Amino acid sequence: MKYLYYPGCSAEATGKAYDASSRAMMDKLGVELVELDDWNCCGATSYFSVRELDSFAIAARNLAIAQEMGDDELCVICNACYTTLAKTNRYMAEDPHVFEAVQGALGAVGRSYDGNVKVRHVVDILINDVGVEAIAERVTRRLTGLRVAPYYGCQFSRPMGSFDDVQVPTTMDRLFEAMGADVIAEFDAKTDCCGGMMMLTREDAALRLCHELLVAARQYRADVIVAACPLCEMNLEGYQPRVNKTYGTDFNIPVMYFTQLAGLALGADPKQLAIDKQVVSCSSVLAAIPA
């Protein structure tokens, strides 16, 4: 199997380990990821706040490149990139005005996009293309007894829910169940907001949201929280000391990109998965699962 791959801007900075572990995990599954040539930022939530059509058009430049590269699918790892790119497709399909404007803008730079490149979240590919059974067969390091809290975040299946339930997604639960983990299915905070970019602009509001998430994870005795978005991961992991200071708590819960934990189960080298680059040490997770 082979997929065109869109890493997203965070993959080159704070989310480097998400990129590295996605590649290593996919390699273990025999899936080849080919990076999209000269991709640009999807625009995230910022571009939508200035001009909506700009946002669709710059996102569509990536889809146009995918089309030029002769592919009709694009694998995306970041929730925000995923939603922005998929939303571009949807609005181009629903609104002829958007379609025309995007075509015009792309035409101005010698590109065109027909609207037919399917945007796929990496979890979607794992569950629906690779398949849980095939994944389970490849597991070399079962996550037996590990209490995993799957944290999906906002833009995983909201607003579109193309491959999972909009309100109660379960695809990551199924993935880690197949790997032998003790998945916390009742972790009901799994789609609650982490505060996103507000950690820098309204710290009080974002810390409160992170605090609630960490309280829920502890309540369910999670050994590790796994995330599918670089921003969720950063907020939940990097700001634990600030949460502790603000709320008088003592959280020190490992937070991993879900691809790091899945990569471990599939036998990838922890170094390759960049597990040593986490802010909160994951040594307890490594120690808990038999080599």
Partner 1 sequence: MTELLTTSQAKELHRTFVEDVMGMPSGEKINICQQCGTCTGSCPTSYLMDYGPREVIAAFRAGMIDRVVKSNTIWLCTSCYYCTVRCPAGIKITDLMYELKRMAIKYDLAPKQSKNPAMTKYFIDSVRKHGRNHEVEMMARFMLLKDWSLPFKFWQLGLRLFTAGRMPLTAKNIRGRDELEKISAYLEAQEAKAQ
**Residue of 4, 106, 225, 243 that binds partner 1 (CB under 8 A):** 106
Q: Which of 30, 32, 34, 49 binds partner 1 (CB under 8 A)?
A: 49
Our finding on whether 35 is near partner 1 (CB under 8 A) is: no
Closest to 171 measured CA to CA, from 286, 71, 273, 262? 262
Query: Which of 130, 277, 284, 288: binder of partner 1 (CB under 8 A)?
Result: 277
The reply to whether 17 sits near partner 1 by the rule CB under 8 A is yes
Instruction: Show contacts with partner 1 in window 114-153 (CB under 8 A).
Output: none
Tokens linked to 198: 């507000």
Q: Which of 118, 142, 158, 218 binds partner 1 (CB under 8 A)?
A: 158
Q: Rounded to an integer, what distance in angstroms lies between the CA atom of residue 76 and that of residue 81?
A: 7
* Cβ proximity to partner 1, 41 vs 185, nearer residue: 41
d(CA 218, CA 129): 33
Cβ proximity to partner 1: between 67 and 181 the closer is 67
CB 118, min distance to partner 1, A? 20
> E strands of 176-250, at which residues?
182-183, 224-227
Residues 6+ apart with CB under 8 A from 64: 106, 111, 112, 113
Handedness of CA 144, 262, 283, 254 (dihedral sign): negative
Among 5, 91, 151, 187, binds partner 1 (CB under 8 A): 91
74's enclosing H/E stretch is strand 73-76
Residues 6+ apart with CB under 8 A from 216: 149, 187, 188, 189, 192
Residues 189-208 that bind partner 1 (CB under 8 A): 192-193, 195-198, 200-203, 205
**Of positions 35, 68, 72, 95, contacts partner 1 by CB under 8 A:** 95
Q: How far is the CB of 251 from partner 1 (least distance, A)?
A: 14
User: Judged by CB under 8 A, does residue 291 bind partner 1?
Assistant: no
Q: Interface with partner 1 includes 58 (CB under 8 A)? A: yes
The minimum distance between CB 18 and partner 1, in angstroms, equals: 10
How far is it, in rounded angstroms, from Cα 18 to Cα 29?
Answer: 16
Count of residues making up the chain: 291
Q: Which is nearer to partner 1, 33 or 193 (CB)?
A: 193
Q: Which of 53, 123, 45 shows the shortest CA–CA distance to 88? A: 53
Binding mask 205-234 for partner 1 (x = CB under 8 A): x---x-------------------------
Distance CA 60, CA 42 (A): 8
Question: Can you tell me whether residue 207 is helix, strand or coil?
Answer: helix
Interacting residues with partner 1 (CB under 8 A)? 9-10, 12-17, 38-41, 43-54, 57-58, 61, 83, 91, 94-95, 97-98, 101, 104-106, 108-109, 111, 154-155, 158-159, 161, 166-167, 192-193, 195-198, 200-203, 205, 209, 238-239, 241-242, 276-279
